[in-house]
Amino acid sequence: MSKYLFGIDLGGTTAKIGLLSEEGRLFDKWEIPTRIENYGKHILPDLAAAVKKGIEENALTNDDILGIGLAVPGAVLNEKDVAVCVNLNGWGGCDVAEVFSNLTGLPVKVVNDANAAALGELWQGGGKGYKSMVMVTLGTGVGGGIIIDGKLLKGAHGAGGEIGHLKLYPDTEELDTCGCGKSGCAEQFTSATGIVRLAKEMGMTDADSKFGFLSSKDVFDLAIDGQEKALEVVHCFAKEMGRMLASVSAVVDPEVFVIGGGVAKAGEFLLELVQPEFVKFAFPACEETEFHLAELGNDAGFFGAAKLFVD
Amino acid sequence: MSKYLFGIDLGGTTAKIGLLSEEGRLFDKWEIPTRIENYGKHILPDLAAAVKKGIEENALTNDDILGIGLAVPGAVLNEKDVAVCVNLNGWGGCDVAEVFSNLTGLPVKVVNDANAAALGELWQGGGKGYKSMVMVTLGTGVGGGIIIDGKLLKGAHGAGGEIGHLKLYPDTEELDTCGCGKSGCAEQFTSATGIVRLAKEMGMTDADSKFGFLSSKDVFDLAIDGQEKALEVVHCFAKEMGRMLASVSAVVDPEVFVIGGGVAKAGEFLLELVQPEFVKFAFPACEETEFHLAELGNDAGFFGAAKLFVD
């Protein structure tokens, strides 16, 4: 008989919880607040209570549950050991799988949240049906999750998929320094922050925003409305994004790029801008690489965490 | 009892053959000419005769042989089907493993030659003892072979590891077009051809070569001798190479780069130029990535081919 899975995406403000079938069908989802006080000592007990409640409310027992996948905002070793998480007030630094398993009486596997989102999109989102995928998350920064033959490429120093730090330009004095401390990084052009930086360099100002504070959403909204300056900015963004992804293809050559994060809310408009630029730059064999939008939004993390139990 | 392996690296002029132990010890190696006339119909019979001779001369029988790994200069599917090879006068287009196995009475696995070289260096060369490695071959072009958890990353369109086509510059009219048809590729700066192009742009001429025809070897030899212009050229090369490898690290984050090919004959001088430039550009977590020279030279291909039988 088919069993059930819990997926949990533990964030700094809330934890998103999903109850799924082994086939990836979502039965129930809800959120609980993340209490980070006292180095997060309430986090796992709160989550255990939420899981217990979820089991009872869905008229299940522990025997019906295959396991709990837990996505956390930090580095994870061997699907169990979590490094101290700065965004969770120093929580972590222990074998979270063991502690949480003792609290719930269920098997637990732990995964980094960005990696979980990539796994989730591969399982039930924009990457469904593919074996190799690069998930690109365009937010404040640019995140990447690389999946080859269904497995995450984590990297020897945990930096696999740090595609926002591809070096699109030589270090130059003119460029702002990237968050990583170096300059010339793709993220300086292709993140939400990078788009606003580009826009301001190209003459847009906070006065262009109806909220008095220019955001990447403003730039895309204005471009969709046909404002000339905003169109210039998004074309410049698309050129850098195309070159970034062409470089990713020349290294790992995925079947599909799945684009998510806040900037991806520009939807098909974004893909139609970026894909032709990708083709211009791409190694010829890679020109047909597919482009999809992410589909699971904030649910991607708990989908991917749950997926750890259905290999 | 430990068995023996044959590794063969089939090139356009000669085939290199090695007889190895399962542990990767080399017992014997020799070459035979590659006869490419008549669409290469002699190639496999010639190789079968060479294998038979090798077995007899080493006082072995077929029972002592685990199998034959064959590296070919073309695309390979499922370790058996070889696409038509342009460098072998149209040879290929069939299940080479089956044909060669029938001729030799031994199990056969087939692999692309660049991938074989990477596997060989990982097994018994500059990447020995590592699990993830990027092999960089600096020749007429720039080849790459990416190994993650001991397995080749081939790519969805066979373009995995085409790191010479990372886009270091936006397409511009000023740059020559790369062999791939696009421009701004790393290969235009980091290959032997790219180095000569850089050197000529920077004022060196064929008169700088004692052979009357400037090569990348001339440039490195002059730089090692302290010639100012040549030093400028190799520093410029090192900067582009550092940025190329920093970008590779931001995608796959290997434990080690293994540098081979003709240009790598500049040896430690090359590594000492490139590694500091890599560190300047690299994502901080990757700064400690190791750099080794390839060690197997022209034997890497047959080592890697043989390795297919010892997973």
Minimum-distance CB partner of A281 among B182, B254, B289: B182
What interface predicted TM-score (ipTM) does this complex get?
A: 0.90
Between B209 and A1, residue with greater pLDDT: B209
How far is A252 from chain B, CA to nearest CA, in Å?
5
* Nearest Cα to Cα of residue B28 among B13, B40, B17, B15: B17
Q: What is the pLDDT of residues B70-122, one digit of tens each?
A: 999 888 888 999 888 888 888 999 999 999 999 999 999 999 888 999 999 99
Domains of chain A: 4-118 (3.30.420.40), 128-295 (3.30.420.40)
Q: Each residue of B254-263: pLDDT tens digit?
A: 999 999 998 9
State mean pLDDT over A70-96. 89
Q: Which element (helix H / strand E) includes B27? A: strand B26-33
Chain A stretch 248-277, residues whose beta carbon is closer than 8 A to a beta carbon of chain B:
248-255
Q: Are A158 and B285 within 8 A, CB to CB?
A: yes
Residue in chain A closest to B161 (alpha carbons) equals A251
pLDDT at A90: 87
CA-CA distance, B239 to B243, in Å (whole number)? 6
Q: A156 contacts in B (CB within 8 Å)? A: 132, 253-255, 289
Secondary structure, 3-state, chain A = CCCEEEEEEECCCEEEEEEEECCCCEEEEEEEECCCHHHHCCHHHHHHHHHHHHHHHCCCCHHHEEEEEEEECCCEECCCEECCEHHHCCECCEEHHHHHHHHHCCCEEEEEHHHHHHHHHHHHCCCCCCCCEEEEEECCCEEEEEEECCEECCCCCCCCCCHHHCECCCCCCCCCCCCCCCCCECHHHHCHHHHHHHHHHCCCCHHHCCCCCCCHHHHHHHHHCCCHHHHHHHHHHHHHHHHHHHHHHHHHCCCEEEEECHHHHHCHHHHHHHHHHHHHHCCHHHCCCEEEECCCHHHHHHHHHHHCCCC
SS3 B239: helix
Nearest chain A alpha carbon to B162: A250
pLDDT band at A175 (very low <50, low <70, confident <90, very high): low
Q: What is the CA radius of gyration of chain B?
A: 20
Contact A252 B252 (CB under 8 A): yes
B162 has which bridge partners? Answer: none
Other residues' Cβ atoms within 10 Å of the Cβ of residue A269: 14
Q: Shortest CB distance from B157 goes to which of A148, A181, A253?
A: A253
Interchain CB contact of B155 with A (< 8 Å): yes
Residue B31, beta-bridge partner list: B16
Hey, how many other C-beta atoms are within 10 angstroms of the C-beta on B202? Answer: 13
Looking at CA atoms only, how far is residue B8 from chain A in angstroms? 27
Non-local CB neighbours of A137 within 8 Å, separated by 6+ positions: A114, A117, A143, A144, A145, A260, A261, A264, A294
3-state SS, residue B293: strand
Q: Which of B130, B165, B172 to probe by mutation at the A interface, max A CB count within 10 Å?
A: B165
Q: Could you tell me if B112 and B71 are in contact, meaning their C-beta atoms sit under 8 angstroms apart? A: yes
The amino acid occupying position B107 is: P
Whole-prediction pTM value?
0.90
**A80 CB near a chain B CB, below 8 Å?**
no
Own/partner long-range contacts of A160-163 (Cβ < 8 Å, ≥24 apart): A160/B251, A160/B252, A160/B253, A161/A114, A161/A118, A161/A134, A161/B251, A162/B250, A162/B251, A162/B253, A162/B283, A162/B285, A163/A134, A163/A136, A163/A244, A163/A248, A163/B250, A163/B251
At B223 the pLDDT is: 97
Cβ of A246 under 8 Å from any chain B Cβ?
yes
Closest CA to A241 of A215, A265, A271: A271
Rounded to a whole number of angstroms, the distance from the CA of A287 to the nearest CA of chain B is 9
Residue of B nearest to A257 (CA): B156
**How far away is chain A from the Cα of B226, in angstroms, using its nearest Cα?**
26
Probe site for chain A from B133, B154, B283 (most A CB atoms < 10 A): B283
Query: What residues contact A290, with CB distance under 8 A and at least 6 apart?
Result: A255, A256, A257
A205, with CB counted inside 10 A (0-12, 13-18, 19+), is exposed
CB pairs under 8 A between A and B: 145
Distance CA A307, CA A304 (A): 5
Write the CA distances from A102 to A45, A80, A97, A108, A273, integer angstroms.
Answer: 10, 13, 9, 9, 50
pLDDT at A140: 85
User: Tens-digit pLDDT profile for chain B (311 aa)?
Assistant: 789 999 999 998 999 999 999 999 999 999 999 999 999 999 999 999 999 999 999 999 999 999 999 999 888 888 999 888 888 888 999 999 999 999 999 999 999 888 999 999 999 999 999 999 999 999 888 988 999 999 999 899 888 999 999 999 987 656 678 888 888 899 999 999 999 999 999 999 999 998 999 999 999 999 999 999 999 999 999 999 999 999 999 999 999 999 999 899 999 999 999 999 999 999 999 999 999 999 999 999 999 999 999 97
Task: Give the helix, strand, coil percentages of chain B, each rounded to 5.
Answer: 45, 25, 35
- Asked if A167 reaches chain B (Cβ–Cβ under 8 Å), the answer is yes
Q: Closest residue of B to A186, CA-based? A: B247
B247·A247 Cβ contact <8 A? yes
**Is residue B180 within 8 angstroms of chain A, CB to CB?**
yes
User: How are beta strands A4-10 and A65-72 bridged, if at all?
Assistant: parallel
